[in-house]
Structure 1
Amino acid sequence: MINVAIIGSGAIASAHINSYLELNKDCTIVALCDIYPEKAKAIAHELNLDVDISNDFKSLIARSDIDLVSVCTPPYTHAEIAVDFLNHGKHVLVEKPMASSLAECDAMNAAAERNKKILSVISQNRFSDPMMKLKSVLDTKLMGPIVHTQIDSYWWRGHSYYDLWWRGTWEKEGGGCTLNHAVHHIDIFRWMNGMPSEVTAITTNTAHDNAEVEDLSIAICQYDDGSIAQITSSVVHHGEEQQLIFQGKDARVSVPWKVKASKSLENGFPVDNPKLELDIQQVYDSQESIQYEGHTGQIYDVLQAINGEKEVLVDGIQGRQTLELITAIYKSSSLGEKVSLPLEKDDPFYTRDGMLSNVKYFYEKTKVIENFGMNEITTGGNYK
């Protein structure tokens, strides 16, 4: 039995707690921690948890009865908490984004390697049937070389969203919609199509004048082979439609699922290619459904890895790569220049202090509240 502690009892913590409860044959929650212990007590009471309550994660790091820690705190705290627990022999599952800077990511990965422990970064939208099936289709290369990718990470958040004390600031949230919402789709895009070599981006704040950070960004990514990807990150899109479209030389596939294949007439105009469409559809349909989806799917993956049954799907190296691409978007939009990847350790955007000194500040944060009520939140992932 794997014993679990959860650090942070804000909105996303319930997704972790409910997942661990669903997987109770393999794990049990033994502790909740929050700087506002009344929040931890409230969620424990709501979900009928018999757990220890703490207001300081450091009181838990030396406990021998804790094997795995879920870090559900604001992004600027992720590195310190993860490194401390890894150094005390605990496995760590950290919420997205992995950290506030590439330097922090490197410290976390070094601690995981040094202590031979698992570090996984939440990317729950990978753990869905449509995404897993699309990845299998792309791996066949039936579409031919990918020439264009479209990532629409559309979310909507009201003005008051950024009133919460840690949101809407570069120092504590680490960024806006690109980092904290589109991170899901940027991770999946990078997982499926690899890292680009250059990034050109624009960010803006169109509807949230109580936040320093962006609420809309558009990035153009170029690969060495000349192919292009466009990434739109937003918290101003009503309806929150989200999609990834991969245009290959011979066919198009996407989530939500759609396949379309064309071939050329003598004059260069298109005609349908039903044979290729059928071949691709058969690959998609032949993939088995995964046992668990979303946070539950990723937590099950981590539990299997702890038990030595498989390698973890989303490790800290991949989490760092996703943050590197996001950091390149911020660098390009802040400095108004094309950015080449990879970003080196002497880059001004490598450290948290460097980021804070160079990013674009849109507005001053004008309102601060300690807590919202326990309202339901949206986490995306409805791709069917």
Structure 2
Amino acid sequence: MIRVAVIGTGNISRLHISSYLAFPDRCRIVAFADIYPEKCREKAGEFGLDVEIFDSHKELLGRSDIDLISICTPPFCHAEIAVEFLNAGKHVIVEKPMAASLEECDRMLEAAGKSGKVLAVVAQNRFKDPVMNLKRVLDSGKIGRIVHAQVDSFWWRGHCYYDLWWRGTWEKEGGGCTLNHAVHHIDMLAWMMGRPLSVQALLSNTSHDNAEVEDISIAALQYPGGAVAQITSSVIHHGEEQQVIFQGERARISAPWKVSAMVSKSNGFPENNPQLEKELNDYYNSLPKLKYIDHKGEIDDVLTAVETGGQPLITGRSGSLTIEIITAIYKSGFERKTIDLPIAKDDPYYTVKGIRENAIHFHEKKSSVVNLGSGQEITVGSDYKNK
């Protein structure tokens, strides 16, 4: 039986808690910790749990009766908490984004390496059938070499969203929509295409004058072999349409699933290739369905890694690559120039301090509240299925 503690009991913790409760024969939640312990009591009551409650995660570091830690705190303290628990011999799953800088990611990876414990990063969208099967189709080689990718990470958040005490500041949130919303889609892109060679980006804040950070960014990425990609990260798009599109040499595929394949006429103009479209659709439809999806799918994967001594699908190294691409987007947007990857350890943007010193403050945060609509539903992204 894997014994679990949840650190940070805000909105996102609800998805962790309900996911652990889906596996009662494999794990048991034994403790909550939050600097606002009343949030712990609220969550315990909501789920009918008899758990110990603490106002500091440090009180749990020496506990031998806890095996796995879910970190659901604001991003600025992910690294500190993860490193302390890994050093204490605990397995760790940390909410996105993994950390606020590459230096923090490296410290987490070092601690995981020394302890031999699991370090997993939440990217629950990989555990959706359309996304998982999109990766499988790409890996099959049926569309040929990828030549272009398009990521539309479109979200919408009201002005008051950034009134929450830790949001909208470079110090506490670590960034805007690029780091905290598009992180899901940037993870997908990194998983499917790897590290780009270079990044060009622009940033803006068009609609949230109570936040220092960006509410939209647009980035262009260059990959080895000539492929290019574009990422739009936004919290100003009504409708929140989200998609990931890959153009291959032979066909176009995407999540939500859609196929288009063309061949050339003798004059160079296109005509449809229904045979390849059918082949791709048949292959996609033959792929197995995931047993568990979203956070539940990722929690199942992490529990399996703990039980077997294996590695989760989304490791600390996966999370670090996502942070590297996001860091390059910020550096390019701040400095208005092309940024080459990888980002070296002597780069100012390698550290939180360097990012904060160079960050553009689009506005200054004007108001701060402890809670925003406690108990109200939150949205965590598209299901990537055709409506």
What TM-score do the two structures reach when normalised by structure 2?
0.98
> What is residue 188 of structure 2 aligned with on the other side?
188
SS at match of 1:207: coil
Cα shift readout 1:223-268 (whole Å, capped 9, x = no counterpart): 1212110000000011111000000111000000001111100000
Deviation, structure 1 residue 309: 6.8
Spell out structure 1 runs of 4+ moving beyond 6 A: none
Deviation, structure 1 residue 143: 0.8
Cα shift readout 1:94-125 (whole Å, capped 9, x = no counterpart): 00000011000000000000000000000000
SS at match of 1:211: coil
SS at match of 1:46: helix
Matches within 5 A, 1:337-356: 337-356=337-356
1:139 aligns with 2:130: no
Mean Cα deviation higher: 220-229 or 84-93: 220-229
CA–CA distance in 2 between the matches of 1:359 and 1:377? 28
Matches within 5 A, 1:271-290: 271-290=271-290
> What is residue 381 of structure 1 aligned with on the other side?
382
SS at match of 1:196: coil
CA–CA distance in 1 between the matches of 2:282 and 2:360? 47
CA–CA distance in 2 between the matches of 1:269 and 1:173? 49
SS at match of 1:307: helix
Matches within 5 A, 1:74-113: 74-113=74-113
Letter in 2 for 1:380: G
> What is residue 327 of structure 2 aligned with on the other side?
327
> What is residue 176 of structure 2 aligned with on the other side?
176
CA–CA distance in 1 between the matches of 2:262 and 2:310? 39
Q: Is the 8 A contact 1:246 1:253 kept in 2?
A: yes
Deviation, structure 1 residue 180: 0.1
> What is residue 209 of structure 2 aligned with on the other side?
209
SS at match of 2:226: coil
1:123 aligns with 2:119: no
SS at match of 1:225: helix
CA–CA distance in 2 between the matches of 1:341 and 1:282? 38
> What is residue 159 of structure 1 aligned with on the other side?
159
Deviation, structure 1 residue 282: 2.1
Question: Which segments of 5 or more consecutive residues in structure 2 lack a partner in the other structure?
Answer: none
Letter in 2 for 1:147: V
1:47 aligns with 2:47: yes
> What is residue 305 of structure 1 aligned with on the other side?
305
Q: Is the 8 A contact 2:241 2:382 kept in 1?
A: no
1:260 aligns with 2:260: yes
Q: CA RMSD in A?
A: 0.8
CA–CA distance in 2 between the matches of 1:95 and 1:206? 27
Cα shift readout 1:295-340 (whole Å, capped 9, x = no counterpart): 0000000000011175310000110000000000000000011000
Deviation, structure 1 residue 374: 2.2
Deviation, structure 1 residue 142: 1.1
Cα shift readout 1:184-240 (whole Å, capped 9, x = no counterpart): 000001101111101000000000000000000000001121211000000001111
SS at match of 1:349: helix
> What is residue 16 of structure 2 aligned with on the other side?
16
Sequence identity percentage: 58
Q: Is the 8 A contact 1:128 1:381 kept in 2?
A: no
CA–CA distance in 2 between the matches of 1:260 and 1:92? 41
CA–CA distance in 1 between the matches of 2:84 and 2:176? 27
Question: Which segments of 5 or more consecutive residues in structure 1 lack a partner in the other structure?
Answer: none
SS at match of 1:236: coil
Cα shift readout 1:64-109 (whole Å, capped 9, x = no counterpart): 1100000000000001100000001100000000001100000000
CA–CA distance in 1 between the matches of 2:156 and 2:23? 31
CA–CA distance in 1 between the matches of 2:29 and 2:92? 14
CA–CA distance in 2 between the matches of 1:349 and 1:103? 9
Cα shift readout 1:272-293 (whole Å, capped 9, x = no counterpart): 1112112211221121100100
CA–CA distance in 1 between the matches of 2:191 and 2:384? 17
> What is residue 371 of structure 2 aligned with on the other side?
371
CA–CA distance in 2 between the matches of 1:182 and 1:312? 22
> What is residue 362 of structure 2 aligned with on the other side?
362
Q: Is the 8 A contact 1:9 1:39 kept in 2?
A: yes
Deviation, structure 1 residue 149: 0.6
Cα shift readout 1:101-158 (whole Å, capped 9, x = no counterpart): 1000000000000000000000000001001110000001111111111000000000
CA–CA distance in 1 between the matches of 2:181 and 2:311? 26
CA–CA distance in 2 between the matches of 1:346 and 1:309? 34
CA–CA distance in 2 between the matches of 1:213 and 1:24? 41
Deviation, structure 1 residue 52: 0.3
Letter in 2 for 1:220: A
